[in-house]
Homo-oligomer: A and B are copies of this chain.
Amino acid sequence: MWENDFYNEHDKMYIATDCIIFGFDEGVLKLLIFKRKVQPNKGEFSLIGSFVKLNEDVSEAANRVLEETTGLKNVFMQELKTYNTVDRDLGFRCISVGQYALIRIEDYDKVLVEKYGAMWYPFDEIPNLVLDHNTMVKDAISRLRRKARYQPIGFELLPEKFTIPQLQSLYEAIYQREMDSRNFRKKVLSFGVLIKLEEKDKTRSKKGAFYYKFDNEKYSELLSKGINFEI
């Protein structure tokens, strides 16, 4: 090793990762948190996180702990930023890489989450979290909002088949504001990346709304041409 006499076994640098997982559930934006069962901060609320092992990438560490803690597998997360100030953790130097995701909350997820002691908490009622985790959540939501403006992120976290009113309600949850249904429909359809299906969703209205699916091929094609998907 080279010029690195910085650390010895008593002065180590630790790397952790914390997951800011948003879920969308019947019109409500939720956040995945859990109540710590062990020290430190036993009994307090926390994001789900872990130290990063020497032989794993940061995203691997995050997926490992997510599966251990909630049963959720293969969640695609994006890096948010590092939390690296010298004094952020208690008693030792630890840098945490925040990672966020926005996923569909399916019924089976709810069961798993309950079983493991984690929970989906409505976004606007989030309690105090340990350390700088509330800051992480704040950073993540504003990043998510910005991102949603130039990527059709919304599509990624609805079921395979979804209706336009559903998609709209998702965007309304992300942005926390109401949108005009006529203009919304016009806009999303104008991208040309939605395929209309024959089938209708009759569970939430008498008339029923047509299902659509996302045209991944068309999407990558347009993306490579530098098209913007601002909603």
Which residues of chain B come closer than 8 Å to A82, judged between CB atoms? 58, 79, 82, 97
Q: How far apart sit A211 and B92, CA to CA, in the bound complex (Å)?
A: 51
Given A2-B39, A79-B81: A13 in contact with B54 (beta carbons within 8 A): yes
Q: Which of A4-12, A107-115, A129-137 contacts B (4 or more CB under 8 A)?
A: A4-12
Q: Tell me the chain A residues, 17-71 only, with Cβ under 8 Å from chain B.
A: 38-40, 51-58
Q: How far apart sit A2 and B5, CA to CA, in the bound complex (Å)?
A: 25
Q: Check A170 for interface membership: any CB of B closer than 8 A.
A: no
Q: Which of A83-91, A118-126, A179-187 contacts B (4 or more CB under 8 A)?
A: A83-91
Given A13-B13, A97-B82: A6 in contact with B54 (beta carbons within 8 A): yes
Which residues of chain B come closer than 8 Å to A1, judged between CB atoms? 91-92
Which residues of chain B come closer than 8 Å to A12, judged between CB atoms? 7, 12-13
Q: Check A116 for interface membership: any CB of B closer than 8 A.
A: no
Q: Interface readout for A162-197 with B: 1 if CB under 8 Å, 0 if not?
A: 000000000000000000000000000000000000
Residue in B8, B51, B85, B86 whose CB lies within 8 Å of A6: B51
Q: Check A93 for interface membership: any CB of B closer than 8 A.
A: yes
Nearest residue (CB) in B for A95 is B15
* A95 & B6 in contact (Cβ 8 Å cutoff): no
Q: Check A76 for interface membership: any CB of B closer than 8 A.
A: no
Which residues of chain B come closer than 8 Å to A55, judged between CB atoms? 86
Q: How far apart sit A150 and B82, CA to CA, in the bound complex (Å)?
A: 22
Given A82-B79, A84-B58, A97-B82: A14 in contact with B4 (beta carbons within 8 A): yes
A–B complex contacts, Cβ < 8 Å, 23 sampled: A1-B91, A1-B92, A3-B38, A3-B51, A4-B14, A6-B54, A7-B54, A8-B9, A9-B9, A12-B12, A12-B13, A13-B14, A13-B15, A13-B52, A13-B54, A15-B15, A15-B95, A52-B84, A54-B86, A57-B85, A58-B82, A58-B84, A146-B150
Given contacts A2-B39, A6-B52, A13-B54, 19 further A-B contacts (CB under 8 A): A2-B38, A2-B40, A3-B51, A4-B14, A6-B51, A6-B53, A6-B54, A7-B12, A12-B13, A13-B14, A13-B15, A52-B84, A57-B84, A57-B85, A57-B86, A58-B84, A58-B95, A79-B82, A146-B150
